[in-house]
Structure 1
Amino acid sequence: MGKESISPQLPQQLEILQLLTNLTNQRLIHLPDLLELIVREVRNTVESAQFCLIALYNDQTQELELNSAVGISAEKLRFLQLNRSLKTKHSCWGGWENSIGDDEPFYRNTSLLNQVFVTGVSQLFKGSREKPDSVVDDLVSCPLFSYVPTYSTFTPASMYAVAIKSAQAGRLGVLVLGNWENPHAFNAASQNLLDALGEVAAIAINNAIMLQVLQEREERLAKQNEILLAQNRELEQIRQQMQLQNQQLLEAAELKSQFLATTSHELRTPLNVILGLSQVLLRQRTSSLSQLQIEMVQRILNNGNHLLSIIEDMLDFANVEAGNVCFYPEEFNLGDLVLTTVAEHRFLAEEKLLDLQVEINLADNSMMNDSDRLRQVLVKLLLNAIKFTPRGKVTVKVWDISNDKIAIAVQDTGIGIAPHHLECIFEQFRQVDQSNSRQYEGMGLGLAITRSLLQMMQGKISVFSQVGEGSTFQIELPRKISQ
């Protein structure tokens, strides 16, 4: 015979419950270690228990699976076929039966563990030394139990199965204690105590599962934090590289502006001398220049003026880029400024036999802005229109948009601009024809300078064009600039 049944005395009950309560309070994250500790301590503490095992329910396989056992050899486990008898299958009459093969486990057509897990009600199994067809009166009342095997070396004499469940965790599995020799090993007091152990074990197991989930989450968060930190470091390096590149670009832009300003200034000085001497030669009344020489000097003067306009554009661009453009708002007569500017460049239109017209429609000619910058903008738009108009006319229109805003449009009947080029014509050094054999000369700075100057004047520019029919550049300005 085995050990005597455990005493139902209160001190021993408290000792056992305190044991599992301590297990519950321990932060055991590794579930197999906790299960091994539970079955070992319960088997050692409960005097009548010779073996103990725990089977937990697997949600994925939907089966009870043996997780930990103590006091039972591998040979006996194979004989009992616990692993196969744990699988549940619902029968046609609403009960539960084990799914078994040709080899019978120690009980037939039923699975005590499945019954306990499904119902949540503890079950007591008792064997008998009588023949298999005898009836055991003290067997637990259950209609599914149709066979009572005899107990032997490989079959337990008494076994008590408790559902591992709690209000918080629900049903997790089954805790089984058994005795190989004594069919009366577990009395009512023992059963009550073991029922309490099932609940405490559920709490301990659930805590371990939750702690493991939390640890996995913390590990994932730690890895994600490491990834984020690495990405932040990479982004910081990229930001620093971009900052360094931006600084280099700013320095390069500043050097470019300084170079353009210096170059323009150095070129303009000797060019002014060439232009001045050319004009002197052409104005001499008593000169002995032949007609061919006069034409050559005139060609020098014309090309010098063209070169001077390019240098002026480069200088203006350099000043605008460097922020060195002076801006002096003043009150002036807009109508007079437009008429004077057009008159100064009428000869260029007449050389190409173009009709140059002016239409002024203003209720009030007074305006408060920088007249020099507005004249500069108007000259660039007017020269641009004359340059790209081989025949036809150029018209300058001025009108009121509202009481506090005016518009100036320079309209031509020239070559026009394709729609896909309209977005880039205001960019620096950009021309519609970028080839070396282009028909129209220039640096591509005029419209870029114009837009920059208009932004300083709190205005804007837009263009409307159609290939072969001409273009219209329209600017809008406040009548009185805000200081």
Structure 2
Amino acid sequence: MSNDLNAHEMVDQELVEAVKQRLDSNRKALHDLKEVTRKLEEINGKLQESEALKSHFLSNIRNEINNPLTSIMGLSRQLATSGGPAETTAAIGQMIYQEAFGLDFQLQNIFIAAELEAGEASPSYALVDMSSLMRTVVDLHRHKIDQKQMIVEESFPADLSFVTDAQHLQIVLMNLLDNALEFCPQGSHIKLSAGMTDSGMMLSVEDSGDGIAADELVRVFDRFRQLEMGTTKSHRGHGLGLSISKALMDLMDGTISLNSEQGKGSIVELFLPEPCVDVHMSAQDSNVFLFDEPEEF
């Protein structure tokens, strides 16, 4: 009799243990299902945000191209029909140049973004006269610097040379300086610096503008991202400049970082390591710029 009871108890314990294991397995499966659902919802949210950003980006691109084209056409018509004094003609010519320069700058960003997206961009290294390159970047923005009465301090050796990709680095610096000029109030101070370290070259663009909120800093290099969005935004731009700069620095095995505090300005720091390549071009030969030299009117 006792043997039968013991046998029944063993069977009951085995059944209880089997049920417990089944319940544990079901709980784990339910937990895994909830985790998969959460991840899918997170991915879906990111996809929806990405689509919204792309839609906003396309709307911006349309405005960034249409607005200067409309201005150029209107100013050209005025120039063709005015027959006014030389001073008026020169002023209109200067405005046409500024609009055309801005349009060309935006298109160059779009083209390089397309190359990066397609995986077709690659670095082309040569010995670059960095002093000349950085002065050219400033000179190309001279009209906007003067218009906003900004002070741009150039802090780099007169004979600074470095092996890098001149065109890609110029695009990075053009975008950083353009951002500083766009988002700084009139009369602000901007400092453009460069110098050698033991392992490469450091560059920086520092401004005394309004700065960026801490919670926005993590998103500044996101593609299509603009910190000021919507129809009431007060600054132009399409949200590609910083993401392109980050992608190009990655392409050149460099780094880019942004430190900012609201009300105290921002500083963007670049580091480029010495590339392991054989270079046969001179600094003068390698400075092939994407943008025309500034015109005098």
Distance in 2, Cα, partners of 1:304 & 1:214: 83
Q: 1:405 to 1:397 in 2, by over 3 A?
A: same
What is the alpha-carbon distance in structure 1 between the residues aligned to residue 178 and residue 4 of structure 2? Answer: 91
Aligned equivalents of 2:153, 2:99: Cα separation in 1? 27
Quick one: structure 1 residues 231 and 478, their matched pair in 2 at CA, closer, same or farther if it must change by over 3 Å? Answer: same
- Aligned residue for 1:407? 202
Report the CA distance shift for 1:393/1:481 in structure 2 as closer, same or farther (over 3 A): farther
Q: Deviations over 1:326-360 (max 9, x none)?
A: 43233333333223333333343233332322111
Q: Report the Cα distance in structure 1 between the residues aligned to 2:192 and 2:132, rounded to whole angstroms.
A: 13
Distance 1:277 1:479 in 2: 48
Normalization by structure 2: what TM-score? 0.68
Per the alignment, residue 348 of structure 1 pairs with 144
Partner of 1:62: none
Computing the radius of gyration from Cα coordinates, the structure with the larger value is: 1
Aligned to 1:431: 226
Are residues 461 and 210 of structure 1, via their aligned partners in 2, closer, same or farther at CA, if it must alter by over 3 Å?
same
Tell me which of 326, 337, 340 is aligned to 2:133: 337
Identical aligned residues as a percent: 24
Structure 2: runs of 5+ lacking an equivalent:
279-297
Structure 1 Cα separation of the partners of residues 264 and 34 of structure 2? 52
1:201-243, Cα deviation, whole Å (9 max, x unpaired):
3x443333223212221233245445656776x579859978x
Q: 1:312 aligns with which of 91, 97, 108?
A: 108
Give the aligned partner of residue 282 of structure 2.
none
1:304, distance to aligned residue in structure 2 (A): 4.2
CA offset digits 1:283-333 (Å, max 9, x no partner): x9xx86225974566545533443443333333333333333243233333
Tell me the CA shift for residue 456 of structure 1.
Answer: 1.5
1:225, 1:350 → 2: CA distance? Answer: 71
Distance 2:34 2:100 in 1: 53
Tell me the equivalent position of 1:417: 212
What RMSD in Å do the two structures reach over aligned CA positions? 4.4
Distance (Å, rounded) in 2 between the aligned partners of 1:435 and 1:376: 26
Change (3 A) 1:481 1:347: farther
* Amino acid paired to 1:336: S
Q: Does residue 211 of structure 1 match 2:11? A: yes
Choose which of 143, 147, 168 in structure 2 pairs with 1:373: 168
Aligned 1:391-406 pairs, distance under 5 A: 391-401=187-197, 403-406=198-201
Is 2:90 aligned against 1:302? no
The amino acid across from 1:456 in the alignment is L
C-alpha change, 1:288 and 1:473, in structure 2 (3 Å) is same
**Other structure's SS at 1:358 match:** strand
Partner secondary structure for residue 431 of structure 1: coil
Structure 1 residue 380, shift from structure 2 partner: 0.9
* Higher relative helix content: 2
TM-superposed deviation, 1:397: 0.8
Q: 1:343 to 1:436 in 2, by over 3 A?
A: same
Q: Per the alignment, do residues 237 and 223 of structure 1 end up closer, same or farther by CA in structure 2, a change over 3 Å counting?
A: same
CA shift at 1:372, angstroms? 1.0
Change (3 A) 1:373 1:215: same
- Unaligned runs of 5+ residues in structure 1 are 1-37, 39-200
Q: Residues 323, 278 of structure 1: CA spacing in aligned structure 2 closer, same or farther, 3 A cutoff?
A: farther
Cα distance, 1:416 vs. partner? Answer: 2.8
Distance 1:481 1:421, change over 3 A: farther
How many Å apart are 1:391 and its aligned residue? 0.6
Please give the alpha-carbon distance, in whole angstroms, between the structure 2 residues aligned to 1:338 and 1:301. Answer: 21
1:443 maps to which residue?
A: 238
**3-state SS of paired residue (1:380):** helix
Which of 84, 88, 100 aligns to 1:290? It is 84
Output the amino acid matched with 2:84.
S
> Is the Cα–Cα contact under 8 Å of residues 202 and 270 in structure 2 kept in the other structure?
yes
1:28-427, aligned counterparts within 5 Å?
Answer: 38=1, 201=2, 203-225=3-25, 234=33, 289-290=83-84, 294=89, 299-361=95-157, 365-367=161-163, 369-389=164-184, 390-401=186-197, 403-427=198-222
SS in 1 for 2:226: coil
Task: Kindly indicate whether the alpha-carbon contact (under 8 Å) linking 2:206 and 2:268 is maintained by their aligned counterparts in 1.
Answer: yes
Instruction: Check the 8 A contact 2:115/2:121 in 1, yes or no.
Output: yes
